[in-house]
Amino acid sequence: MAVLQRDEAGIRQYAPPAEELALRYGHMLYQAIVHRAWGVAHRLAGEYTESVARLTQALELFNGLDARWQIGRTLYELGELAAMQADTVRARDCFNRALTAFQDMRAAPDAQRTQAALESLN
């Protein structure tokens, strides 16, 4: 929830114990979710290199799990990161890939949010 609220302090509070448990139990889905959460926290703090690393790790894990909705959410976060860095080409690519994933699943609220992010790049 802290990720959706863009609550950096909340992410930094809850991510460490979540990451510890995900690693302890070898739960790949939760590990990927924690990577994404850290990626968002790093982006919010302006730590772009760390953000890219964590979001990329999350995306790789989600791809391995074929977790399509999670892939879309992570691509959206990568798009947000690229947009913050004024890399509109990369932002557009990530948002378009996320949009395709959400549309394929008929995840209308996520597709609408992603479409709005794409339109804000123009």
Give the tens place of pLDDT for each residue, 39-52. 999 999 999 999 99
Looking at residue 79, which CATH number applies to its domain?
1.25.40.10
Q: Is 43 inside a domain boundary?
A: yes
* Residue 111 contacts residue 75 (beta carbons within 8 Å): no
Whether 79 is covered by a domain: the verdict is yes
* Domain count across the chain: 1
Residue 40 domain-assigned? yes
The percentage of residues in the chain with a pLDDT greater than 70, rounded to a whole number, is 100
Q: Is residue 28 part of a domain?
A: yes
Domain-embedded: residue 3: no
Q: What is the mean pLDDT of the chain?
A: 96
Q: Which two tokens stand for residue 20?
A: 């510890």
Confirm whether 2 is domain-assigned: no
Question: What domain range is 36 assigned to?
Answer: 8-120
